């Protein structure tokens, strides 16, 4: 068994089960027009930028789906390239474009769970990461804490009990290599 595997209720589970993180499908021209109109309507103060709540309003219209507050805040962190906690129209469009850069999926995932946007994942951030990967987990709170501590013990190289992006990438690379075996 590898470091991240353990027995729970007689079954082997991983600390972070493999699953791909998908952004939204590209929009057709009609949906792009809907998004532009929804953006302008949600931009109540006319500054050309949206808050997380306003982003939620736009996505609810564009996707015809109810996006919850947690997802809108995570998506905001993913595409807010200037770090002002607001989205301009160009940043919004990045939710609907393919990410072709190397490691793009990991960068996206890191930004999604890095609540403080400080470049370090705390235990709470790692818990969010685990929830994304294993929504149906029946782990107790104590088991979840054990898994988080194991991840930190294994990958925290600088001893600050946080995972920076480089340490996070090592975790994800280990995940990927173990899943391909």
Mean pLDDT of 80-101: 79
Q: How far is CA 1 from the centre of its chain?
A: 28
Residue 138's contacts (CB-CB under 8 Å, 6 or more residues apart) are: 8, 9
The answer to whether residue 3 scores a pLDDT higher than 70 is no
pLDDT bucket at 160, cuts 50 / 70 / 90: very high
How confident is the model at residue 153, as a pLDDT?
A: 92
Q: What does the mean pLDDT of the chain come to?
A: 78
The answer to whether residue 8 scores a pLDDT higher than 70 is no
Span 101-114, pLDDT tens digits: 555 677 878 888 89
The answer to whether residue 13 scores a pLDDT higher than 50 is no
Q: How far is CA 147 from the centre of its chain?
A: 19
The answer to whether residue 41 scores a pLDDT higher than 60 is yes
43-71 as b/e, with b when 16 or more CB fall inside 10 Å?
A: beeeeebbbbebbbbbbebbbeeebeeee
User: Can you point out the beta strands (E) in the chain?
Assistant: 5-8, 11-14, 120-121, 163-164
Most confident of 13-22, 97-106, 119-128: 119-128
Of 34 and 4, the one with more pLDDT: 34
Nearest to 18 by CA among 138, 130, 170, 115: 130
pLDDT bucket at 22, cuts 50 / 70 / 90: very low
Instruction: Say if residues 36 and 13 touch (Cβ distance below 8 Å).
Output: no
How confident is the model at residue 19, as a pLDDT?
A: 38
Could you give the CA distance from residue 19 to residue 132 in angstroms, rounded to a whole number?
9
Instruction: Give the count of alpha carbons within 13 A of 137, CB side only.
Output: 23
How confident is the model at residue 177, as a pLDDT?
A: 58
Share of the chain above pLDDT 70, in %: 76
How confident is the model at residue 50, as a pLDDT?
A: 94
């Amino acid at each position: 068994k590898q470091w991240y595997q353990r027995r729970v209720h007689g079954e082997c589970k991983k600390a972070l089960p493999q699953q791909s993180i998908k952004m939204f499908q590209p929009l057709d021209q009609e949906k792009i027009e809907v998004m532009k109109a929804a953006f302008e309507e949600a931009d109540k103060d006319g500054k050309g930028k949206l808050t997380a709540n306003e982003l939620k309003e736009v996505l609810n219209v564009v996707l015809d789906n109810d996006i919850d507050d947690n997802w809108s805040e995570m998506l905001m962190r993913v595409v807010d390239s200037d770090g002002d906690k607001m989205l301009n129209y160009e940043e919004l469009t990045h939710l609907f474009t393919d990410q072709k850069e190397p490691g793009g999926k990991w960068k996206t995932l890191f930004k999604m769970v890095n609540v403080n946007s400080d470049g370090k994942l705390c235990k709470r951030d790692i818990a969010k990461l685990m929830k994304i990967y294993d929504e149906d987990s029946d782990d107790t709170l104590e088991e979840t804490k054990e898994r988080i501590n194991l991840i930190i013990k294994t990958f925290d190289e600088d001893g600050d009990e946080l995972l920076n992006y480089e340490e996070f990438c090592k975790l994800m690379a280990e995940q990927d290599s173990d899943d391909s075996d």
